[in-house]
Structure 1
Amino acid sequence: MTQAFSQTAFSPTPQASQLPTMPTGWPIGSYATYAEAQRAVDHLADKNFPVQDVTIVGVDPLLVERVAARLTWGKVLGSGAMSGAWFGLFVGLLLSLFTPGAGLTPILIGLLSGVAFGMAFAAAGYAATRGRRDFISHSQLVATRYDVLCQPRNAEAGRDLLAQLAMSSGRGF
């Protein structure tokens, strides 16, 4: 093993860019939604502001889980059949392409097998929950507010530009 290989591939200290770090900078604006914070940074970019000094920070994060529908055996089996059908169709197409003179037989066999296995695996997964989670939901990470931070060397200029944006749109920040 060479010295260069041991230092780069198995370095005991990971690179700083791979580790989570706390944001730094001075607050130059605070917004109720992420879209407003994005709009503010876009305004800074439009004014040739050095946006590499800017960070958007979500403050007081919340995990919001929105329930979309009730989960039933019919939905579980239907979903399993559909995902299995796609996979089976893909496998069947590959088999038919690489088997001379096979015709549609591999496609049909792949499709039917995929449906059967998809339903079986979906049913096994749903049965394993034993009714503890009979709903479909979507999780989202949101914040109560979004602060725009800027490195001190440009913070005052950034704050002035965002104040102009707030005055032109009739909103405070």
Structure 2
Amino acid sequence: MMVSSPFGGGRPAGPPRLPTPPTGWPIGSYGTYQEAQRAVDFLAESEFAVTDVTIVGVDLMLVERVIGRLTLGRVLGAGAMSGAWFGLFAGLLLGFFVNQGFALQLLTGLVLGVLSGLLFAGISYRASRGRRDFSSASQLVAGRYDVLCQPRSAEQGRELLSKLALKPPPATA
């Protein structure tokens, strides 16, 4: 299906390009994303029009899990590794375009990359003055996941999901 614009041409129908609130009627609500995904999988297996379905995370939370303590040694090590990769890439490019000493160009790039990685990592660590001496990973999670469906097929979707509710949940590994 193509959607045309007043300026000519067209673009394929699909998710909106700009952030827009979801539409549809709720046909199920689940505590985890995995359960909501299982419900949509069940609808798909039942040959339901899943293009009418949207999974919506409600009550969003940003969860930051602390991975470990940052020390100057860890920061410098990560900076050296990051610089080494960039230096190898730069040395590889130099080696291709300079007609002499491919290995020397590669080694020069590596050494300069490690040194610059150490320098920039050390400066940024010292500039933070101990305000954030830990590393973490952030995740956006929801309190619940609602499955919405367009009104034209919401009743059929509700009926199918009521059948799924009667099945025992799959064994987790």
TM-score range, shorter chain: 0.7 to 0.9
What are the Cα deviations for residues 6-65 of structure 1, in whole angstroms up to 9, with x where unaligned?
x96xxxxxxx93332211211111111001101111111111111111111111111100
Structure-2-length-normalised TM-score: 0.86
For residue 129 of structure 1, what is the aligned residue in structure 2? 128
Shift of 1:170: 5.5
Q: Distance in 2 between matches of 1:107 and 1:23?
A: 52
Over the matched positions of the two proteins, sequence identity in percent amounts to: 63
The answer for the alignment partner of 1:116 in structure 2 is 115
Q: 1:98 to 1:156 in 2, by over 3 A?
A: same
Q: Residue in 1 aligned with 2:12?
A: none
Partner of 1:166: 165
Unpaired segments ≥5 residues, structure 1: 1-6, 9-15
Supply the RMSD in Å over aligned alpha carbons: 1.8
Alignment of 1:3-152 (within 5 A): 17-152=16-151
C-alpha displacement of 1:159: 0.6
Structure 1: which amino acid aligns with 2:69?
Answer: R
Where does the alignment leave 5 or more consecutive residues of structure 2 unmatched?
1-5, 8-14
Matched letter for residue 122 of structure 2 = A
* Residue aligned with 2:20, SS: coil
- Kindly tell me: are residues 47 and 99 of structure 1, through their superposed partners in 2, closer, same or farther at Cα, counting changes over 3 Å? same
1:103 Cα deviation from its structure 2 partner: 3.6
What is the distance in 1 between the residues matched to 2:37 and 2:62? 21
Say if 1:102 and 1:168 are closer, same or farther in 2 by CA, change over 3 A: same
Give the aligned residue type for 1:28. I
Quick check: which one's helix share is greater?
Answer: 1
Tell me which amino acid in the other structure corresponds to 1:129: S
Q: Give me the whole-angstrom Cα distance separating, in 1, the residues matched to 2:169 and 2:132.
A: 46
Once residues 36 and 74 of structure 1 are traced to their aligned partners in structure 2, the CA distance between those partners, rounded to angstroms, is 42
Q: What TM-score do you get using the length of structure 1 for normalisation?
A: 0.86
Greater shift in the superposed pair: 66-75 or 90-99: 90-99
How many residues were matched structurally?
158
Query: C-alpha separation between the residues in 2 aligned to 1:19 and 1:93?
Result: 40
> Which AA in structure 2 matches 1:147?
D
Residue identity in the other structure for 1:52: T
Hey, what's the Cα distance between the residues in 2 that align with 1:71 and 1:61? 28
Which amino acid in the other structure matches residue 64 of structure 1?
V
Q: State which drifts further: 16-25 or 138-147.
A: 16-25
